[in-house]
Copies of this chain bind each other. A is one copy, B any other.
Amino acid sequence: MKVVELRGFGLENLAVAERPAPKPGIGQVLLKMRAWSLNYRDLMVVKGQYNPKLKFPFVPLSDGVGEVAEVGAGVTRVKPGQRVAGTFMQGWIAGDLTEAKAKTGLGGGPEGVLAEQVVLDADGVTTVPEHLTDEEAATLPCAALTAWNALVTHGNVTAGDTVLVQGTGGVSLFALQFARLHGAKVIATSSSDQKLERVKSLGAAEGINYKQEPEWGEKARTLSGLGVDHVVEVGGAGTLAQSLRGVRVGGTISLIGVLSGVGQANPLPILMKQVRLQGIFVGSREMFEAMNRAVALHRLRPVVDRVFGFSEIRPALEHMQQGAHFGKICLRWT
């Protein structure tokens, strides 16, 4: 079967290779893969910025959707023919995150899913909403679940709240959509007025062009009255300082990414405004299932920027690196 291997750090070291078809062991399932989505983490992994101890050759990517082709001994949760996504952390089924569970993230330490066939734990997959295309479904395991965990599981977003999302990457657009599902008002930032128009068409009430408004935190604060209730902080130069400016007293900042770093923020406002800065690291399978229920009920459609072919992983990652995308970048088997 075909597989994409990283043979050393750097985009140039990605190559399509052949490996023997895997067999599902006890409690495992074999998936015939159909689609994948990229996360910024995948780019960091490939460039050696995520896990410097990676062993080569290494199959990248955490997010993929496929059809169950075969189940191993003792498996009753799923059956052949079902369309499922793998969970980001194979070991985080339910409950709180632990160190042991955190080490099971696909495509970061354990190998990922960018292969024709993949073996996963039967407990580490979940069916996906039927109305979604394969590519749309492939956007759920990391980006969507991170936004859900931030705003819903941990953030308890409520109708009437104001949520600030940064930029137009996958997590930010899912945060916008989930905030809207719960009746919250969304303020979005971008460096492009054109993208701000698009986020408004997705339901954002306000857009701030952070190039034109370097003090966008203050602007968000003003737009929201007493400060925003939740910030979904994806990171970038100096973003945390602005987020602390924008958030209300007693508000929450979900730290879900660090992209190019969040800059050196003075922690004093965390104390003086009694802010909760909550790290978010994707989520459990039970959260995934709760999210899927909401996605299915509302027939919510993830925003897909562009779909590449399986073997086009390198141009796909380069596309991500350019940062001009709006929503999720996906791959498709054929």
Contacts and interface: CB of A to CB of B under 8 A. Distances in A.
B284 A271 contact: no
Contacts of A297: 159-160, 183, 185
Interface stretch (A14-22, A188-196, A260-268, A312-320): A260-268
B158 A294 contact: yes
A97 B271 contact: no
Contact of A95 (B160, B270, B286, B296): B286
Interface residues of A, number: 62
Interface in A264-295: 264-265, 267-281, 284, 286, 290-291, 293-295
A277 B270 contact: yes
A273 B256 CA distance: 11
Interface string A213-227: 000000000000011
A153 to B, nearest CB: 9
Contact of A270 (B248, B255, B294): B255
- What is the count of identical protomers in the complex? 4
A187 to B, nearest CB: 13
A7 interface: no
A294 B267 CA distance: 31
A93 B94 contact: yes
B98 A226 contact: yes
A101 to B, nearest CB: 8
Contacts of A178: 159
Contacts of A269: 279
Given A183-B182, A267-B258, A298-B183, A273 B94 contact: no
A298 B203 CA distance: 13
B98 A95 contact: no
A290 B25 CA distance: 32
Contacts of A298: 159-160, 183
A178 B183 CA distance: 9
Contact of A271 (B267, B272, B280): B280
B276 A278 contact: yes
Nearest to A276: B278
A249 interface: yes
A171 to B, nearest CB: 12
Contacts of A152: 158-159
Contact of A27 (B27, B185, B277, B281): B27
Closest 6 CB pairs of A and B: A94-B95, A160-B294, A160-B293, A159-B294, A270-B279, A181-B183
12 contacts: A26-B73, A27-B27, A94-B96, A95-B284, A95-B286, A98-B226, A152-B158, A160-B290, A160-B291, A258-B267, A258-B271, A276-B279
Interface of A: 25-27, 73-74, 93-99, 101-102, 152, 156, 158-160, 178, 181-183, 185, 226-227, 240, 248-250, 255-258, 262, 264-265, 267-281, 284, 286, 290-291, 293-298
